[in-house]
Amino acid sequence: MSSPEIASLSWGQMKVKGCSTTYKDCKVWPGGSRTWDWRETGTNHSPGVQPADLEEVVKKGVKTVVIGRGMSEALQVPSSTVDYLKKNGIDVLVLQTEEAVKEYNALAAQGVKVGGVFHSTC
């Protein structure tokens, strides 16, 4: 199963190819995507992305996770979250969201089992 292409990104809006939903923040993995609702894990810009935000994506068997920190990189990614991924044998890229989407789409196009979490505003 391949990772879906992120078809478009603009402030506060993301579209995933093959999905009719427009996301503000989203999670993607091989074969699917859904809204990334920060309230599920109590995530805020600081301390930022928690391992709990990534568990669902990790369980999909990804080899690489791309984290989009927002258009102005306001979303933090603590070292504990990066360590969590590395301990699970997963490569991780932490980037500004526009750059993160480019990297994610490039990896997906190469057939890499890539997943991601993307913040589309600040």
Asked, for residue 45, whether it belongs to a domain, the answer is: yes
State which residues of the chain have pLDDT below 50. Answer: none
pLDDT of 43: 95
| Tokens read off for 80 | 């504990």
In terms of residue numbers, what domain contains 51? 6-118
* CATH code for the domain in which residue 36 is found: 3.40.1230.10
How many Å separate Cα 3 from the centre of its chain?
12
pTM, two decimals, is 0.97
The count of structural domains within the chain is: 1
Asked, for residue 82, whether it belongs to a domain, the answer is: yes
pLDDT of 11: 98
Asked, for residue 86, whether it belongs to a domain, the answer is: yes
pLDDT in tens, 23-49: 999 999 999 999 999 999 999 999 999
Asked, for residue 24, whether it belongs to a domain, the answer is: yes
pLDDT of 82: 98
Asked, for residue 1, whether it belongs to a domain, the answer is: no
pLDDT of 29: 98
Asked, for residue 94, whether it belongs to a domain, the answer is: yes
Name 15's Cβ contacts closer than 8 Å, sequence gap at least 6. 6, 7, 8, 9, 22, 23
The C-alpha atoms of residue 85 and residue 81 are separated, in whole angstroms, by 7
Q: Are strands 114-119 and 6-10 parallel, antiparallel or unpaired?
A: unpaired
